[in-house]
Each structure stands twice: as structure tokens, then as C-alpha cells.
Amino acid sequence: MYTRDLFATATESLTRTKSRSLLTILGIVIGIAAVIIMLAIGQGAEGLILSEVADLGSDLVFIEPSASGKESGPPSPFIEQTVDLDDANTMENSGLFSAVSATLYSTVSVSSGESNDFVQVMGADEDYLLLYPADLRFGAFLDETDVDSYANVAVLGIEIARDFFGDKDPVGEKIKLKSKTFRVVGVLEEQGTRFFQNLDKQVTIPVTTMQRDLLGVDYVNYISARAIGDIEVAKEELRYLIRDNHDIESEGEEEGLLDDFFVSSQTDATETIGIIGSVLTILLSSIAAISLVVGGIGIMNIMLVSVTERTREIGLRKAVGATPKEIMQQFLVESIMLTMLGGLIGVLGGSLFSLAVGWVVKTYYLSTWTTVIPPNAIALAAIVSTVVGLVFGIYPARRAARLNPIEALRYE
Amino acid sequence: MSNKPLVQFVNVSREYVNGEVVTPALRGVTVSIDQGEFVAVMGPSGSGKSTLMHIMGFLDTLTGGTYLFDGVDVSGFSEDHLARMRKEKVGFVFQAFNLLAKSTVLQNVLMPTMYCQISRKERMRKAQEAIAGVSMEHRAGHFSNQLSGGEKQRVAIARALVNNPAVIFADEPTGNLDTKTGTQILELLAQLHDDGRTIVMVTHETEAAHYASRVLRLRDGLLESDTTNGIRQRGGYNK
């Protein structure tokens, strides 16, 4: 039998049961579409984070508290807070860094006149903008005097400024954080989000004021610094400096085990994101594999029904001289065509859906979002759907090929 | 009419084994059918006439004896080899027509040619010729489920003819038809016989057997009688 005839015959019998064919491939369509959507969104998110990391530069070093010298995740009240401004001063004086900035976060109530809200307040210092560059719409950022003198001054994110003062220049206006009054000294330009935090809804005050007057603490959440020379050397030097500061003695094999802080860099963050990405990919692949197996079983089921329904046709084809191999080919081609069609619809549907989701996210949430339809995912979908058709089509096709022609012709 | 033996059974037997039970369907049948004969196979149900036709038509295999087709011993042929014999040497006409319901007359007649490696053009020519041979040209584009019983059987005959087989096997070809259309189908088979075709027809109707030149009667898996029908005349043969 010519391949062309094989496909023509398969198309004919599949179109004879159009709605059933379409319902049969739904499992494959959903499976493939899910893979495309998840990969597209996953890659979009990963790309976004990586580009933000890249924007900040690869020479950033962070130090944060940790129970065991290992990374401990986001700032948490359950971790003993061991990093303080003394550490920041040590870093500044070390000559290893061009800029050092200690940062402390909290969510507090903010009010001005009639308006009030809960916002994230960040305690920072004058070096902050050297590490995380941003432009000012009005006024100025915090300066050294503000930090040293525990000044009650605040720099607003653009959204907060609009919420409280409209479009006018709010420099010199007063706001209340908790019950303390702060004078507005500047407004930052629109910054959007960084690592999924809306910077435009943030209030920045001197870290010293935040420690003493707002929270009554002596620690900071983390310190960021920009290394001057080789970043790995800077990290290693920094560990010794901080151990010295914290009176931690550890040498040889025990080195690092007693550390109550953790030093990391942007490079580490990039690696971590890469690992998260791979884990996600494995997870998504497993889900996709399960849905494709389920879809494949659906195909097998319907092909078995089809073989039973067409028993007489199979008998007839055998009677006119079709070999078992030719019968098998015919049914295999039918199941492969079904799954390939499912894969095609899945890729198209998944891509359209991803583009739509991307558009919504870009328009309403994150303007820096880009949707990527990964071309290797499309190739993978095509291969996988063909393989599913082949694997789950073999059993029904073999059954058809093995039918006894006399019994098949008598089948009622 | 030539006297070259086409189908030769020498002491052919066929047993069906179902667990412990052995059912003999043919118990040593020796018969020879020449090229150009029109043979009716008769007998009560269970006499083995269908088994005889299935073995002759390469749909079934024998368990004892020898089957020579055109002088070649086919007794030990493999499944694929038997499929090739069916494709090249024989055509089947069934009681239940067995047409593909949602396909046209042309598609039905083209179907057996798909398993032959011949060009599309040549296949189309063969199919159209076969359809013309049974006077169904005017219905070529119709779906088979739009046809009457007699028309369906004509299409089935065209399908059996399309690969120009050496023998046509007809299994109760008038069994699902009324007398009038049944007669038309028998006339058609008789006409094919006149054109030189070899036909083996299983039937239990004596009237149908009148159209054949020779009648084989089976009983309990044995050949009971083998008679010739005399001179051909309108409506069949003289006894």
C-alpha cells in the first residue's frame, strides 16, 4: 500500500466520525497546550527575574542573617537577627566596596490628613541609590546627615505620592508613619516592580530612624554592597571581617559552620533562579507526561472501539488481500494522525493563550514582561504527540491486524 | 472452454479444535475445478460448504490433504502469502454485500486496488471498467447506503472483479435479495461465466444452482455428489 493511500484512507475514516475524533484528541490538546502555556509563562517569569538581576549588575554582594552560614530565604522573624549597622560600617571602612547600604523593611500604617493606608516602609541610607539606581521626580533622596541625625524625613514612591497629594509637588508636606510625623523630602520616579514588589508603593526613611523610632530594634534585614575588585575575593574577605565583628572563631574544617550570617552575590542569585527553573521544568514535564498518558489512554480506548466497530471492514480488507502489516499500518496511521492533530491544536491554543496571558500581565501588572513561546517546546510537543499516538495505537492496531478474516466477516 | 484444472483438492480435510472438542468440517474431499467452470456448492448447513469455499479462497487453511491452485501446492503458505493469493487470484462476493457504508460506489470498487502497487490512473481505469461490467456507471458517485440490495450486490461483484481474479467465490449471493433481483444477480454471474470467468458459488437454493454448469453436493464434510447441469438455456441449465 502506498503511504499516500494510507493517509488518504486514514483521513477518510477519521472524518467519517468527526465529532468523535475531535473529542478523542481533547486530552492531547489540553496536555500539549498546558505544556506550552506553563513553559511560556515559566520562561517569561525567569527571563524577567534574570533581566532584573542583570540590571542591578553582577558585582552586588549581600549579607543577611542565617542560622548556619547557609542561605535562609526571605527575611523572617524566626531567624535571629544578627546583622547590624556596625557590620555596615566595617564594610564601608574595609575598602572592598564602592557603596554599602543597610536595609530594613516593615509594613506600617501611613496617614496624611484624611487619607491613610498600609504600606511597606524601607529603612535605607544615602548609598541606596548607588546600588539600586532610580531617578527623582521631586526633591532629593536621603543624605548622610538625615541618616546620622535620625531625621524624620521620608522619600515617597510615585503611587503613594499620587494617592496622598495628587500630582502636585509634596516636598515639605507631612505624613504620619504609625504616630510619628515625617517630612517629605523627595518623590522617586516610576520604578515598577522589582522581584514582584511594587517599589512605587514604598516609603523610604533613614534606617537609623526606622530602627530607633519606628521598630525599636538594632538590626537590619540585609546589607547590600558593590564590590570594587574580584567579587569572590570580596566575599571571602567579607566573611572574615564579619566573623571578627561577631566574635566567631572557626578554622580549618569547621570554617563557616558557626557563621550567623550568609554572604551571597547576584551570581549566586542567578544560579539559584536557574535551579528553580530546572526544578519547575521537571515538575511541569511530569504533569505534562501524566496528562499525555491519560490522553493516550483515551486514544487507545477509542481506537479499540473503532477496531470493534469496523471488524467487518477489517475482514473485508483482509479478504481482498490486505496483509496483517497493512491493516496494522492503517490503524497506527489513524491514531498518529489523531495525536498529531491534537498536538497541533494544542500548540496553537497554548501559544494563543500564553500570548493573551502575557498581554494581560504586561498591560495591567508588569510592563517589563515578555512572552516567549519556546520553539523547542513546540518541537517537543510535535515529537511527543507522535510518540503517544504510536505507543497507544499499537495495541488496537495489533488487535485489528490479528483478526481472523472469516470471523471478522461474520461479525454482527 | 478449456479443461485446465485451476482448483484441485486432494483428500482435503479441516478440523476445528476448541479445547478438547475436535469438530471435523471437511473429512477428505477430493475435487477438481477447471478454468471457466461455474460451480454451485450445495448442502445443508454444517455440511462444510462454507469451509470448502474459505479454503479454496485462501481465507482458511487445511489440516490434512493437498490443495493445488493452478498446479502449485499452496497447502503450507504463510499468512502473508495467502493474503497475496487473495489479492491476485480471487474475488469474493458475500451474502451481506459488505460494502463500506459511508463510501461511494467508486471508492468501494477502488478499495482492493489500494493494496496493489499500481498507479492511481491505472486503478481508476480498472475500477471504472469493473463498474461498467456490472452496468453501474450511472451510480458511481452514489454512497453505497443509498443503493438498493440488487445494486449493492452488483457493486460487490464489481469489487470482486476489479483485480481481474482467476476465480470468483460467491457465498449465498442471492440470500439477502428478493427473487427478482436475485435472478438478475444470477444472470449477471452467468454472463460473467459466458465471458470465460471461473465462478464458485455456495448456495442452498436449487433455482440458483440451475445457473451453474456443475453442482457439488456436500453432506457431513464429505462430497456426496458431483453432477453436470447439461445445456445452457435462458434462465439456467437443463437438468
pLDDT tens-place string over residues B177-208:
999 999 999 999 999 999 999 999 999 898 89
Same structural domain for residues A19 and A94? no
Same structural domain for residues A239 and A281? no
Question: A78 pLDDT exceeds 70?
Answer: no
Min mean pLDDT across A84-93, A306-315, B76-85 is at A84-93
Average pLDDT, chain B: 91
Mean pLDDT of B45-50: 91
Which amino acid belongs to residue A250?
S
Set out the domains of chain B in order of their start, with CATH numbers.
5-230 (3.40.50.300)
For residue range A166-178, what is the model confidence (pLDDT) as tens digits?
888 999 999 999 8
Same structural domain for residues A123 and A225? yes
Mean pLDDT of A104-131: 88
Contact with chain A for residue B159, Cβ under 8 A: yes
Confidence of residue A236 (pLDDT cuts 50, 70, 90): confident
Alpha-carbon distance of A100 to A98, in angstroms, equals 7
Q: Which of A355, A292, A279 is nearest to A41 (CA)?
A: A355
Question: A311 pLDDT exceeds 90?
Answer: yes
Residue A107 lies in a domain: yes
Instruction: Give the number of domains in chain A.
Output: 2
**Residue of chain B with shortest Cα separation from A313:** B100
Same structural domain for residues A251 and A208? yes
For residue range A156-204, what is the model confidence (pLDDT) as tens digits?
999 989 988 888 899 999 999 988 999 999 999 988 777 667 888 899 9
Same structural domain for residues A130 and A104? yes
Same structural domain for residues A132 and A38? no
Same structural domain for residues A33 and A115? no
Question: A72 pLDDT exceeds 60?
Answer: no
Contact with chain B for residue A319, Cβ under 8 A: yes
Residue A105 lies in a domain: yes
**Residue of chain B with shortest Cα separation from A5:** B114
Same structural domain for residues A102 and A142? yes
**Residue of chain A with shortest Cα separation from B120:** A5
Output phi, psi for B181, to 5 deg.
-70, -30
The better pLDDT of the pair B129, A357 is held by: B129
Residues of B in contact with A316 (CB under 8 A): 98, 100, 111
Same structural domain for residues A229 and A372? no
Mutate to test the interface with B, among A1, A4, A309, A320 (most CBs of B within 10 A): A320
Place of cell 491514531: A335
Mean pLDDT of A112-138: 88
Average pLDDT, chain A: 86
Question: A51 pLDDT exceeds 80?
Answer: no
Which amino acid belongs to residue B32?
S
Place of cell 479478504: A319
- What cell numbers appear for B228 in the block? 453436470
For residue range A130-166, what is the model confidence (pLDDT) as tens digits?
888 889 999 999 999 999 999 999 999 999 899 888 8
Task: Give pTM, 2 decimals.
Answer: 0.72
Please name the residues in contact with B174: beta carbons below 8 A apart, sequence gap of 6 or more: B153, B181, B182, B185, B186, B203, B205, B208
Domain that holds residue A392: 3-53+270-410
Question: A281 pLDDT exceeds 80?
Answer: no
Residue A319 lies in a domain: yes
Same structural domain for residues A252 and A286? no
The better pLDDT of the pair A5, A49 is held by: A5
B112–A321 C-beta distance less than 8 A: yes
Residues of A in contact with B159 (CB under 8 A): 320
Same structural domain for residues A45 and A90? no
Residue A116 lies in a domain: yes
Domain final position from A210, A232, A259: A259
B117–A320 C-beta distance less than 8 A: no
Residue A119 lies in a domain: yes
Q: What pLDDT shows up at residue B51?
A: 94
Q: Which of A129, A184, A128 is nearest to A161 (CA)?
A: A184
Question: B1 pLDDT exceeds 50?
Answer: no
Angle at A347 between CA A345 and CA A348, to 5 degrees: 65
A1–B114 C-beta distance less than 8 A: yes
Question: B148 pLDDT exceeds 50?
Answer: yes
Residue A66 lies in a domain: no
Do residues B169 and B53 make contact, with C-beta atoms less than 8 angstroms apart?
yes
Confidence of residue B234 (pLDDT cuts 50, 70, 90): low
Alpha-carbon distance of B138 to B128, in angstroms, equals 11
Do residues B28 and B64 make contact, with C-beta atoms less than 8 angstroms apart?
yes
Q: What is the DSSP string of A107-139?
A: EEEEEETTEEEEEEEEEE-TTHHHHS---EEEE
How many residue contacts between A and B have a Cβ separation below 8 Å? 61
**Percent of chain B at pLDDT above 90?**
80
Do residues A223 and A262 make contact, with C-beta atoms less than 8 angstroms apart?
no
Residue A21 lies in a domain: yes
Domain final position from A208, A240, A259: A259
Domain final position from A240, A259, A278: A259
Alpha-carbon distance of A220 to B77, in angstroms, equals 89
Q: What pLDDT shows up at residue A8?
A: 87
Mean pLDDT of A51-60: 76
Same structural domain for residues A242 and A345? no
For residue range A332-377, what is the model confidence (pLDDT) as tens digits?
999 999 999 999 999 999 999 988 888 888 888 776 777 778 788 8
Residue A34 lies in a domain: yes
